[in-house]
Amino acid sequence: MTVHFIGAGPGAADLITVRAARLIAAAPVCLYAGALVPRELLATAPAGARLVDTADLDLDQITSELVAAHGAGLDVARLHSGDPSIYSAMAEQMRRLDAAGVPYDVVPGVPAFAAAAASLKRELTVPGVAQTVVLTRTSARSTPMPPGESLAAYAATGATLVLHLAVQRMTELASELAAHYGEDCPVAVVARASRDDEQVLRGTLADIAGQVTDAGIRRTAVVVVGRALTAGQFPDSHLYSSSRQR
């Protein structure tokens, strides 16, 4: 058997890969985070499949489910929201599966920041404006950030900044970021990207916190900061230049 760690995408049930859909349809056991993974994705699971919502389970309980499936010779579809390569807590599950001798693989998914950019209809890397995207988070009730990975250090580069797990601290963060980007720097907040109840806020570091408060957004949101969000005057990419050597 194999545990398939699957990126379930940002929320829309049709924003998953063909491979992910095939594995879900064949797996007799499916573990999913009920608060983040759309229930529609489970509709294609085999009849009689064991469906386990991990929202209220701790790591030991989740590991027990995976090890038990291994003992029974049953494949597992382990669904994580977005793409499991970032902020999925997949690493600690893999560590325990390695210790237990349980095989696994990973199926990538559409990350939340990509879904947010699609909703905004913006490229996050614009020639002459921003060519780097920093994916990071802030530390509040979550585990502390490692030494050296401060928000100020990233903001000082002027790169397009994508913040996860940060919208609850928007007032504090906007003030901190304004010291580097300027209060007029464009900001967008996309909550529940790609879902039917998606919310999109656009503003600047001077006014975005008030918009977030008024909209009542508290979770499941991505914050994007940077000049690429509104750039209109910039050179064409060298990729399509007539002078580029073919």
pLDDT, tens digit, 9 for 90 and up, residues 45-79: 999 999 999 999 999 999 999 999 999 999 999 99
Shared domain check, 63 and 12 = yes
User: Which tokens sit at 12?
Assistant: 């829309």
Q: Residue 155: which of 124, 134, 131 has the closest Cα?
A: 134
239 occurs within a structural domain: no
Averaged pLDDT, 99-119: 97
3-state SS assignment for residue 80: strand
pTM given for the model: 0.90
Shared domain check, 134 and 85 = no
Shared domain check, 215 and 126 = yes
Q: Are the CB atoms for 7 and 107 separated by under 8 Å?
A: yes
> What φ, ψ does residue 167 adopt, rounded to 5°?
-65, -25
152 occurs within a structural domain: yes
pLDDT the model gives residue 243: 64
Band of pLDDT at residue 235, cut at 50, 70 and 90: confident
pLDDT the model gives residue 64: 97
> What φ, ψ does residue 35 adopt, rounded to 5°?
-75, -15
Shared domain check, 122 and 38 = no
Per-residue pLDDT reduced to its tens digit, 174-214:
999 999 999 999 999 999 999 999 999 999 999 999 999 99
pLDDT the model gives residue 238: 77
Average pLDDT, the chain: 93
243 occurs within a structural domain: no
